[in-house]
Amino acid sequence: MTRKRVAVAGASGYAGGELLRLLLGHPDVEIGALTGASNAGQPLGALQPHLVPLADRVLEETSIETLSGHDVVFLALPHGQSGAVAAQLGDDTVVIDCGADFRLADSAAWEKFYGGQHAGTWPYGLPELPGQREVLRGATRVAVPGCYPTISSLSLAPAVAAGIVEPDVTVVAASGTSGAGKAAKPHLLGSEIMGNASAYGVGGVHRHTPEITQNLSKLTDGTVSVSFTPLLVPMSRGILATCSAKLTGGVTAEEVYDVYAKAYADEPFIHLLPQGQWPQTKSVTGSNAVHLQVTVDEDARRMIAVGAVDNLSKGTAGAAVQCMNLALGLDEGLGLTTVGIAP
């Protein structure tokens, strides 16, 4: 078949770099325009030195002229900028947005958490949620989920859908720093980050909270209450989400495990570990896999689910490629792997 021609807007950032890393290994695509903002005019080798085959490619301005004429356009832009770009790209172009602009259905929630006007709602790029894969096949617009919502939703969905837990969940998610992006801020300096764990966005104010709520609430009749606390821990990549909720009945650890095993039996990228083995982020570094484990705290009567994901891969760029594959009618796993890099 003819290779699909893809463009990446925002190629100098972490999401853009990971997209290009994956696309370089994808058999059915050819990498077209690469664009940047302040970095336009620079060679990619100076910005993403790990992408050797693209070292001499020069970043162009993010504009309709640059981005048109591609089969697929990936947008890895700051929140709020995707709408204007996407509006100029026709429906014959698959547009996959790694930003937050089109993730939420509730405009009020979008405006409360992001500010500005809500651009709209696109098919949500988490094919492992019930019914979602079908929505994504052949789609021409896809909103890639946030990294925290990806792992939080996948860690809790089977239990919430099965009604074995109360619709009132807590998530504490320890994240590497790449999720905070490549813009230089003092609190993200290596000197500050190494040897340091901290909490931020505490009390339900993190922007990913309404997205987790949206995903889990779709699985029940009502609204699922979500208490979400993100932590920053000293690693570049990876999220480890510790999720829990009160059990609704006398369900055992084995029964909970079975619920998860059945829910994800056919999912190529979800790996429920053998009972007793707990996820670690390093196992999924660079891969599109999600590692999960669940158990029951008998005394506290809570289910505890722990999930690990690479925030840049399955948490962003891997999901984007997976969605592109679905949108284009390709094998869903093309260019993706379940094999991580460790140690």
Looking at beta carbons, which pairs linking 14-18 to residues 24 or more positions away fall under 8 Å?
Answer: 14/178, 14/181, 14/182, 14/312, 15/76, 15/98, 15/312, 15/316, 15/317, 16/48, 16/74, 16/76, 17/48, 17/50, 17/51, 18/312, 18/313, 18/316, 18/317, 18/318
Local structure of 118: helix, strand or coil: coil
Do residues 136 and 127 lie in contact, with contact meaning Cβ atoms separated by under 8 Å? yes
108 belongs to the binding site for its own copies (CB under 8 A): no
Comparison of 62 and 293: residue with beta carbon closer to its own copies: 293
Establish if 167 lies at the interface with its own copies (CB under 8 A). no
Member of 186, 222, 250, 329 binding its own copies (CB under 8 A): 186
Check if the beta carbon of residue 224 is closer than 8 Å to that of residue 278: no
Dihedral of CA 121/123/127/133: which sign? positive
Task: Using alpha carbons, select from 141, 127, 172 the residue that is nearest to residue 290.
Answer: 127
The least distance separating its own copies from the CB of residue 157, rounded to whole angstroms, comes to 18
Using rule CB under 8 A, residue 41 touches its own copies: no
**Subset of 51-80 contacting its own copies (CB under 8 A):** 51-53, 55
Q: Which two tokens mark 248?
A: 């609704």
Between 62 and 285, whose beta carbon lies closer to its own copies? Answer: 285
Of the pair 85, 211, the CB lying nearest its own copies is at 211
Q: What is the distance between the alpha carbons of residues 76 and 16, in angstroms, rounded to a whole number? A: 6
Q: Write out the H or E segment, with its range, that includes residue 153.
A: helix 147-162
* The one among 84, 87, 108, 341 contacting its own copies by CB under 8 A: 341
Q: Which of 115, 184, 250, 265 binds its own copies (CB under 8 A)?
A: 184
Q: How far is CA 223 from CA 160, 220, 226, 281, in A?
A: 11, 7, 9, 30
Q: Residue 167 in contact with residue 220, Cβ under 8 Å? A: yes
Cβ closest to its own copies, residue 48 vs residue 93: 48
User: Could you say which residues in the range 221-260 bind its own copies, by CB under 8 A?
Assistant: 225-227, 229, 231, 233-240, 242, 244, 253
Residue 185 vs 266, nearer CB to its own copies: 185
Out of 199, 220, 262, 331, name the contact with its own copies by CB under 8 A: 199
For residues 131 to 160, the per-residue mask of contacts with its own copies, x marking binding by CB under 8 A and - elsewhere, is ------------------------------
User: Residue 251 and residue 304: Cα distance in Å, rounded?
Assistant: 13
Q: Considering beta carbons, is residue 142 or 165 the nearer one to its own copies? A: 165
Can you tell me which of 88, 116, 203, 220 binds its own copies, judged by CB under 8 A?
203
For residues 136 and 169, what is the distance between their CA atoms, to the nearest angstrom? 27
Tokens standing for residue 57: 């490619």
Q: Which residues are catalytic?
A: 147
Interaction between residue 261 and its own copies (CB under 8 A) = no
Min. distance of Cβ 53 from its own copies in angstroms? 6
Among the candidate windows 29-37, 64-72, 92-100, 271-279, which touches its own copies by CB under 8 A?
A: 271-279
Indicate whether 24 belongs to the interface with its own copies (CB under 8 A).
yes
Question: Could you tell me the smallest distance in angstroms from the CB atom of residue 282 to its own copies?
Answer: 4
What's the CA gap between 260 and 237, in Å, rounded? 25
Contact flag: residue 304 with its own copies (CB under 8 A): yes
